[in-house]
Structure 1
Amino acid sequence: MRIDRRQFMMGSAALAASLGVSPAFAQQAMLRLIFWGGQPRADRTYGVTDLYTEANPDVSIDGEFLGWEDYWTKLATQTAGGNAPDICQMDYRYIVEYARRNTLVPLDEYVGGVLDLSNFDEDQIDGGRIDGSLYGISLGSNAGSTLYNATALSNAGIEIDPMSMTYPELLEAGARFAEAQDGMKLLSDGSGVELLLENWLRQKGKALYTAEGEPAFEASDLIEWFQLWNELRAADACVSAEVQAADVGPAQTSVLTTGQAATAFKTSNQLVAFQEINEDNIDIAIYPKISEDSTGGHYRKPSMFFSVTSSSQDPEAAAHFINFFVNDIEAGRILGVERGIPADSEVRQAIAPELDEKSRAALEFVANLGELAGPLPPPPPPAAGEIEKALITKSQEVAFGMQSPEDAGQAFFDEVNSILERGSVN
């Protein structure tokens, strides 16, 4: 039989209480924390938990991190079983679903008390509100971005303007890059990247979802999207379906890190993590524009949140830790901008002069989007996570030649509507 440290301490505390003994740890707040990310994020996170427990010896924090896909599977299983960790990392596309199922604790009662948001950007606070209640505390702001291997592009004689590159330019440059680089392609396959599709739709004056949670695009848009990526594949501008299928999420398995592509469509806060595990110079650019005169489809969003789950036995202690995580300047120095630009203005101002080159580049990228950045879209519907997975599957079917763009575009549009209708019934 296996018993973890938290179970042991809880059992010991109960035994001590039954014997009339009050050891110090019997009064401890024991918090569990779960988040997605790689080792660099874990190192920064645990650096902050150590800093917090040193200042608050009556609190212990057990942390766990997983890759993106495994994270949501485990969190869903733990939530369904009623044993979710006290604090979970939450994404903008999933927070509505978890909040409306009453699996997260509203944090409004702690604001102004153990949770100080007085120096937070208002849009970062609003991003964590669902149906008028605050369920998520932003861990930073970011924007969609193209991370690219500047060393490989330079060696191939390819120049891009990181703040104005277009899909037509990348299509033309792809063949030249492939000829100059043995086995490396210019682009990763972005046809299954939801944020990239959303950016492309926004440039066309459309969106993924309306405020009511309905599709804000047509089947014809999806057909055009899949056709674009078929054209990029045909031009030898992006990796093959087989190569892209092995890119399962973590930075370590990305085609950018494995040297199979010179670009990856990510978010700005990931620049730091990618540079830490790549010897070549990794730089940052916008998502491609559909034409030179496009204003772009970017926006600044909460990169992720910390939320308190309904399973927590001490939500106030959890809120107190979150407050430290986002507001303490020393914690901010440890975290840097790996999770995005700090939402607290004092933390942001304190750490900005101390940032390394790539952290400053990520900060400046978000700050200097200008007219390329539009308003934050409404929170996605509860079924958005399922739709994102469906997009990945459908994009792979097109890439492998199992479906034409025409058939796939219509089929995916029908599936989106089916998922949303099913979600509204639930």
Structure 2
Amino acid sequence: MFSTKRALSAVAIATGAALALAGCAGGGENEPAAEFDPNEEVTIDLAFWGNDVRAELYNEAIDAFNEEYPNITVNATFLGFPEFWEKRQTEAAGGGLPDVMQFDYSYLRQYSENNLLLDLDPYLGEIIETEPLPQNILDIGVVNDTTYAIPTSTNAWGLFTNPVVLERVGVENFAGGSWEDYAEWMGQVTEAGGGEIYGGGDYTGRIQNFELQLRSEGSHLFSEDGEPGFDEERLTEFWEEGTAMRDGIAFPQQLVEELTPLGPFDTARAASELTWDNFGPGYLGNLGEGYTELNLIEPPVTEEGTQDLYLKPSMLHAISAKTEHPEASATLVNFLINSPQSGEIFGANRGIPASETALEAAELDPLSQQVVDYEASISDRLGDAPPVPIVGYGTLEEKFRQLGTELNFGTMTVDDAVTQFFSEMDIVLNQ
């Protein structure tokens, strides 16, 4: 039996609040029970974020799961993304997380280091199949040499361009090249657009573009120990790259504010957008009638021949350290990630399936197939994923975006922005 319920109200918990009570939430060695009975009647809870469409897909997946495991009853709940994590924060403080959870990469270190998640290593290659999952995918869920989550799907950083908009202004698609080449191309589109269409946004407002440049130079945003891989001088240099773009090339911040909650790209006011490759379906949906395809190409290159790109999980599945049924929970996780039925049911709803078994069974729409082809095309640029984000990474990512907004408005100097970011970073890294 699978029940899908909506929460009646959101719990007011500050985003990113420290799990002060979580340290006593258990953990330790998590060996499979020696007397595990695979036919025992058990009930486990499953929590995920999403909407009614995803909930119906989970309904189908649980029905298929119960055909193979009729003794495992799954009670599932879903919420929107912010409400989902508010509820998890409350449960973490009280020691009552669901048995199985859809999980976000940015919270993995916070929850695992507070002993809230089950060590999955004893189940790998046993209950949880590892053959369909490449090692670099499995490594994504590792924190401090322990596996705490398994990716359901992957995505990579890419550059979307809109062929309809480009045809309208009479400019060819970006042919690739350096960041300078990209800025020059954006300028051509903006000039041809006559104040109605812009080439794209100020790419220095996104921390991911800074990370790509750092990785190309052999550095990183943050090490496993939380040490930054850049100094004030390097960040200053990056933000100063955007000076020319902010002076009439990139779409102005005022336009962004006017179009919110949509943006210049998914309202056809911009020809390009640097973002995660799984955002394409959402863009097409927002663009609406007359827009049937997008171009997806690799981002600008900082230095040829480097592995600056990497695969990131769209989402993962994790298990509570306090679950009373670890084997049944691991069985459900394996089914949701690796089974052909899961691939057939979910398709690309959760991103491109990370499991080869699930991917082979998935029926992909043209844009999802385009993402698969894109990730194959950038294999030479794909390096190891960076360490699981530090606790507080979300706060720093948002601060970076806010400062980029101020720079785009012209209400702050680059020097002041750098000072503010390093002050925020000092607080986050030393809390």
- 1:387/1:5 CA distance change after superposition, 3 Å: closer
**1:28-47 deviation per Cα after TM superposition (whole angstroms, max 9, x unaligned):** 51423123x56665554454
Question: Pairwise mapping of residues 334-349 of structure 1 onto structure 2 (< 5 A)?
Answer: 334-349=345-360
Question: Pairwise mapping of residues 199-278 of structure 1 onto structure 2 (< 5 A)?
Answer: 199-241=212-254, 243=256, 253-278=262-287
TM-score between the two structures when normalised by the length of structure 1:
0.80
In structure 2, the partner of 1:12 is: none
Offset at residue 220 of structure 1 (A) = 1.6
What CA distance in whole angstroms lies between the structure 1 residues aligned with 2:157 and 2:128? 29
Offset at residue 411 of structure 1 (A) = 2.4
| Conserved 8 A contact 2:212-2:309 | yes
1:177 pairs, out of 177, 189, 212, with 189
What CA distance in whole angstroms lies between the structure 2 residues aligned with 1:403 and 1:225? 15
**1:215-273 deviation per Cα after TM superposition (whole angstroms, max 9, x unaligned):** 0011122212222233212133234256169656xxxx344223343333321233344
Offset at residue 137 of structure 1 (A) = 0.6
What CA distance in whole angstroms lies between the structure 2 residues aligned with 1:327 and 1:31? 19
In structure 1, the partner of 2:332 is: 321
Q: Which moved more, 1:260-269 or 1:99-108?
A: 260-269
2:170 pairs, out of 139, 144, 157, with 157
Which letter maps to 1:386? T
Does residue 284 in structure 1 map to residue 293 in structure 2?
no
Q: Which moved more, 1:358-367 or 1:142-151?
A: 142-151
In structure 2, the partner of 1:307 is: 318
- 1:335/1:392 CA distance change after superposition, 3 Å: same
Does residue 66 in structure 1 map to residue 80 in structure 2?
yes
In structure 2, the partner of 1:10 is: none
- Root-mean-square deviation (CA), in Å? 3.1
Q: Which moved more, 1:109-118 or 1:151-160?
A: 109-118
Secondary structure in 1 aligned to 2:47? strand
1:363 pairs, out of 372, 376, 380, with 372
2:147 pairs, out of 134, 141, 148, with 134
Which letter maps to 1:77? T
What CA distance in whole angstroms lies between the structure 2 residues aligned with 1:75 and 1:407? 36
- 1:45/1:254 CA distance change after superposition, 3 Å: farther
What CA distance in whole angstroms lies between the structure 2 residues aligned with 1:104 and 1:245? 42
**1:281-339 deviation per Cα after TM superposition (whole angstroms, max 9, x unaligned):** 22212222247x47462122333211113464534333222111111112112322443
| Conserved 8 A contact 1:270-1:339 | no
Offset at residue 367 of structure 1 (A) = 1.2
In structure 2, the partner of 1:23 is: none
**1:105-152 deviation per Cα after TM superposition (whole angstroms, max 9, x unaligned):** 212233344322232101111111112221011112321112222221
Secondary structure in 1 aligned to 2:105? coil
Which letter maps to 1:199? L
For this pair of structures, how many residues does the alignment match? 391
| Conserved 8 A contact 2:265-2:273 | yes
Offset at residue 356 of structure 1 (A) = 2.8
| Conserved 8 A contact 1:215-1:417 | no
| Conserved 8 A contact 2:251-2:264 | no
Offset at residue 391 of structure 1 (A) = 1.6
Which letter maps to 1:62? A
Does residue 385 in structure 1 map to residue 397 in structure 2?
no
| Conserved 8 A contact 1:144-1:266 | yes
What CA distance in whole angstroms lies between the structure 1 residues aligned with 2:417 and 2:86? 27
Secondary structure in 1 aligned to 2:75? strand
Secondary structure in 2 aligned to 1:257? helix
Secondary structure in 1 aligned to 2:430? helix
Which letter maps to 2:119? P
Secondary structure in 2 aligned to 1:215? coil
What CA distance in whole angstroms lies between the structure 1 residues aligned with 2:396 and 2:232? 14
| Conserved 8 A contact 1:152-1:262 | yes
What CA distance in whole angstroms lies between the structure 2 residues aligned with 1:311 and 1:254? 42
- 1:256/1:52 CA distance change after superposition, 3 Å: farther
Does residue 330 in structure 1 map to residue 320 in structure 2?
no
Does residue 34 in structure 1 map to residue 34 in structure 2?
no
Q: Which moved more, 1:407-416 or 1:43-52?
A: 43-52
| Conserved 8 A contact 1:188-1:244 | no
Question: Pairwise mapping of residues 12-161 of structure 1 onto structure 2 (< 5 A)?
Answer: 29-35=43-49, 44-53=57-66, 55-57=68-70, 58-67=72-81, 69-161=82-174
What CA distance in whole angstroms lies between the structure 1 residues aligned with 2:203 and 2:252? 10
Gaps of 5+ in 1: 8-25
Which letter maps to 2:359? R
What CA distance in whole angstroms lies between the structure 2 residues aligned with 1:158 and 1:43? 42
What CA distance in whole angstroms lies between the structure 1 residues aligned with 2:427 and 2:6? 42
**1:52-105 deviation per Cα after TM superposition (whole angstroms, max 9, x unaligned):** 3455454233231424x5544443334234343333332333211110011212
Secondary structure in 1 aligned to 2:46? strand
Offset at residue 198 of structure 1 (A) = 0.9
Secondary structure in 1 aligned to 2:299? coil
In structure 2, the partner of 1:420 is: 429
What CA distance in whole angstroms lies between the structure 1 residues aligned with 2:205 and 2:232? 16
Which letter maps to 1:66? G
What CA distance in whole angstroms lies between the structure 2 residues aligned with 1:303 and 1:372? 19
What CA distance in whole angstroms lies between the structure 2 residues aligned with 1:238 and 1:76? 37
